Amino acid sequence: MATVVVISVEGRDELWIADLDNGTVVPLPEPKSGGLKVVTDLRATGTTLTKGVNIAVVVKSAEAALSGHYDG
């Protein structure tokens, strides 16, 4: 079974699906119904939701992440 994460970044509307086993990240079409639709509707109100994630940090680039410099 693949390890997949649905992600987005504050200030951006689009969702992405990252398949960690395959090393791919692709845009996810906007959900029209179901649990992910509920989550996207909550996001639109400013809610942040995490489930099963133990670290998530926004950085300016991969180089910044590798150097230990995180955005504040």
pTM: 0.77
Token output for 31: 């959900």
pLDDT of residue 18: 94
Token output for 9: 């970044």
What's at 53, amino acid-wise? V
The string of DSSP letters for 1-54 reads ---EEEE--TT---EEEEETTTTEEEEEPPP-SSHHHHHHHHHHTT----SS-S
pLDDT of residue 5: 92
pLDDT tens-digit series, residues 9-56: 888 889 999 999 999 999 999 889 999 999 889 988 989 888 888 888
Q: Which of 70, 33, 35 is nearest to 55 (CA)?
A: 70
pLDDT of residue 71: 56
